[in-house]
């Protein structure tokens, strides 16, 4: 859309990525992130699917998504929507919040009780933190707003115990996922995953979709895209990233990246690093 726009910054000290954007019509395809996503809708109506539900986020709403949660984005109302968001590293958030609780075991992880919430205090904390990081305020201001945000988040999260699943289908899905993590740049087939998990291709796909809500091939693409963001933010060239992660070529990576994030790999790299793009077009 001609009226769509996106601002992206990457905070130098923490690596936290801040995004402010406006979309009209279709915003982005279903995808997931490997970080916690925290944001607010500033104007219009943002429609998205997550946790098998459809949500409508309006001004004054905060949205909270966990790593791996699949979500999309659309503007169902004329004029589109504007939002701001940032991504908090899984390990950093868990370790930091554990300091606010007494003797929390390492086998627990942070779980957001609700995907969409209307809390003026949380919305204000998100907005203040975003402004401090996005505009590169003084370090003491940044850290103070981050502390304020973390204090607010504790009222909207729970500790969820990480326990090995006793359900056979979940165990199969998790073994397949671990294999894809270890071989994300390889030309992996369903037959390979079936052999690793000790089952057949059809059972494997059924178990995987039940656990992760995506077929193995679609989940692998999302994993590669998440890793591509990391490599690009570190300054690697799009062509190199595409080759490392098993995309057919740079154009193939670019098509998937644009569909998921509404920005090209080269543009994303430039925003994160301020380095010129010298790769082939």
Angstrom distance (rounded) from CA 95 to CA 24: 37
Q: Torsions phi, psi of 113, nearest 5?
A: -65, -35
Contact (Cβ atoms closer than 8 angstroms) between residue 71 and residue 65: yes
Residues 105 and 62 in one domain: yes
Residues 185 and 251 in one domain: yes
Question: Across residues 240-261, what is the average pLDDT?
Answer: 92
Token digits for 53?
Answer: 């539900």
Q: Is residue 278 part of a domain?
A: no
Cβ neighbours, 10 Å, residue 206: 16
pLDDT tens digits along 82-132: 999 999 888 777 777 766 655 555 555 678 889 999 999 999 999 999 999
DSSP class of 265? H
Residues 142 and 182 in one domain: no
Residues 13 and 136 in one domain: yes
Residues 74 and 194 in one domain: no
Angstrom distance (rounded) from CA 64 to CA 153: 9
pLDDT tens digits along 172-218: 888 999 999 999 999 999 999 999 999 888 888 988 888 888 889 98
**Does the pTM of the predicted model rise above 0.75?**
no
* Boundaries of domain holding 178: 168-273
- Asked if pLDDT for residue 13 goes beyond 90, the answer is no
Q: Is residue 190 part of a domain?
A: yes
Q: Is residue 88 part of a domain?
A: yes
Show the beta-strand stretches assigned E in the chain.
Answer: 5-10, 17-23, 26-31, 35-44, 46-50, 53-57, 62-65, 71-74, 81-89, 108-112, 116-117, 157-161
What is the residue-averaged pLDDT of the chain?
86
CATH number for 148: 2.60.120.10
Note the pLDDT of residue 9. 87
Residues 173 and 65 in one domain: no
Residues 68 and 177 in one domain: no
Note the pLDDT of residue 270. 87
Residues 138 and 17 in one domain: yes
CATH number for 222: 1.10.10.60
Which of 113, 138, 161 terminates a domain? The answer is 161
Residues 150 and 192 in one domain: no
Note the pLDDT of residue 150. 87
Note the pLDDT of residue 159. 62
Report how many domains make up the chain.
Answer: 2
Which of 121, 142, 161 terminates a domain? The answer is 161
Q: Is residue 279 part of a domain?
A: no
Which of 141, 161, 181 terminates a domain? The answer is 161
Angstrom distance (rounded) from CA 171 to CA 193: 13
Note the pLDDT of residue 166. 43
User: What's the longest Cα–Cα distance across the chain?
Assistant: 56
């Amino acid at each position: 859309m001609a009226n769509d726009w996106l601002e992206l910054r990457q905070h130098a000290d923490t690596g936290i990525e801040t995004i402010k954007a406006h979309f009209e019509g279709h915003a982005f395809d279903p995808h997931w992130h490997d970080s916690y996503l925290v944001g607010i809708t500033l104007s219009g109506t943002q429609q998205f699917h997550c946790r098998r539900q459809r949500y409508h986020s309006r001004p004054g709403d905060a949205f909270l998504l966990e790593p791996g949660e699949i979500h999309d984005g659309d503007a169902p109302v004329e004029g589109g929507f504007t939002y701001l968001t940032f991504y908090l590293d899984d390990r950093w958030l868990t370790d930091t919040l554990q300091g606010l609780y007494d003797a929390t075991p390492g086998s627990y992880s942070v779980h957001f009780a609700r995907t969409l919430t209307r809390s003026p205090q949380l919305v204000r904390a998100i907005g203040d933190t975003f402004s401090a990081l996005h505009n590169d305020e003084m370090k003491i201001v940044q850290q103070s707003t981050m502390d304020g945000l973390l204090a607010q988040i504790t009222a909207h999260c729970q500790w969820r115990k990480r326990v090995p699943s006793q359900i056979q289908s979940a165990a199969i899905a998790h073994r397949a996922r671990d294999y894809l993590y270890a071989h994300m740049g390889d030309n992996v087939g369903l037959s390979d995953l079936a052999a690793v998990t000790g089952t057949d291709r059809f059972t494997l796909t059924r178990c995987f979709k039940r656990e992760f809500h995506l077929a193995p091939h679609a989940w692998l693409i999302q994993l590669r895209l998440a890793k591509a963001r990391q490599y690009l933010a570190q300054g690697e060239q799009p062509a190199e990233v595409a080759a490392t992660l098993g995309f057919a070529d740079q154009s193939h990576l670019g098509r998937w990246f644009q569909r998921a994030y509404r920005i090209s790999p080269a543009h994303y790299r430039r925003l994160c690093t301020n380095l010129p793009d010298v790769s082939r077009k």
